[in-house]
């Protein structure tokens, strides 16, 4: 880490105290020339897989729902923790990262969903999984399920503008010139 100008501590909990951040900084052992930034995963409002204008506010509405989470990502733990914080009850159906869904799997999930004896229930997946669910073999099944997407983006705890300025300055300073060959 001696050569790095910037150190990013990623996936820190969204709600952390300054004392907790200082404790993390002690473990990082950054040098005086290094700037340390903290990032976290910021989740957006849920939107329907068939009509993105249909939205649910997680923090205000998810408590009404029993949630089935369908994920094929490397680390679903932060997402599941977030859903459990706001959802009534969360059932997780994890698949391997980059999993290619097949019709039988979606039929099984749909069957399980239908067996949940609750009025308000919802299936939540990731934007990454939505792209795979749009596969022509399984989209006819997926689009008929009460499925919503939980969008996610990386945000900085503070100093985001400072981080952006450092990156832009570096890009301007280290720009290389090239000729277009025709």
C-alpha to C-alpha distance for 99 and 114, rounded to whole angstroms: 23
C-alpha to C-alpha distance for 114 and 13, rounded to whole angstroms: 34
List pLDDT tens digits, range 142-156: 999 999 999 999 999
Is the pTM above the cut of 0.85? no
Q: Between these two residues, 52 and 170, which has the higher pLDDT value?
A: 52
Res. 23: pLDDT tops 50:
yes
Res. 2: pLDDT tops 70:
no
Q: What percent of the chain shows pLDDT beyond 70?
A: 95
Q: Between these two residues, 70 and 135, which has the higher pLDDT value?
A: 70
- What are the domain boundaries of the chain? 6-41+155-171, 45-150
Q: Between these two residues, 21 and 105, which has the higher pLDDT value?
A: 105
pLDDT at 12: 87
pLDDT at 30: 82
Res. 180: pLDDT tops 70:
no
* Sheet strand arrangement including 66-71: 55-56, 46-48, 147-149, 121-125, 66-71, 89-94
Mean pLDDT (the chain, rounded): 90
**CA distances from residue 4 to 94, 135, 154, 162 in whole angstroms, order as listed:** 35, 41, 20, 17
Res. 1: pLDDT tops 80:
no
Res. 27: pLDDT tops 90:
no
126 — pLDDT class (breaks 50, 70, 90): very high
List pLDDT tens digits, range 98-107: 999 999 999 9
Q: Between these two residues, 130 and 176, which has the higher pLDDT value?
A: 130
DSSP SS3 for 86:
helix
C-alpha to C-alpha distance for 73 and 60, rounded to whole angstroms: 26
45-150 under CATH 3.40.50, yes or no: yes
C-alpha to C-alpha distance for 92 and 76, rounded to whole angstroms: 9
pLDDT at 182: 42
CB 149 within 8 A of CB 43: no
């Amino acid at each position: 880490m001696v050569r790095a100008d910037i150190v990013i501590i990623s996936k820190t909990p969204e709600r952390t105290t300054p004392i907790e951040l200082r404790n993390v900084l002690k473990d990082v052992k950054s040098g005086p020339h290094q700037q340390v930034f903290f990032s976290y995963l910021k989740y957006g409002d849920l939107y329907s897989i068939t009509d993105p204008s249909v939205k649910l506010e997680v923090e205000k509405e998810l408590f009404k729902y029993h949630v089935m989470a369908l994920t094929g990502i490397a680390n679903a733990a932060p997402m599941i923790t977030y859903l459990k914080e706001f959802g009534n009850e969360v059932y997780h159906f994890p698949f391997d990262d980059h999993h290619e869904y097949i019709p039988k799997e979606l039929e099984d999930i749909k069957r399980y969903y239908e067996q949940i004896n609750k009025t308000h229930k919802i299936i939540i997946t990731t934007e990454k999984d939505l792209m795979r669910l749009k596969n022509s073999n399984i989209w006819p099944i997926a689009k008929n399920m009460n499925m919503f997407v939980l969008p996610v983006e990386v945000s900085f705890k503070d100093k985001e503008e400072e981080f952006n300025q450092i990156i832009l300055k570096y890009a301007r300073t280290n720009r290389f010139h090239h000729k277009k060959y025709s």
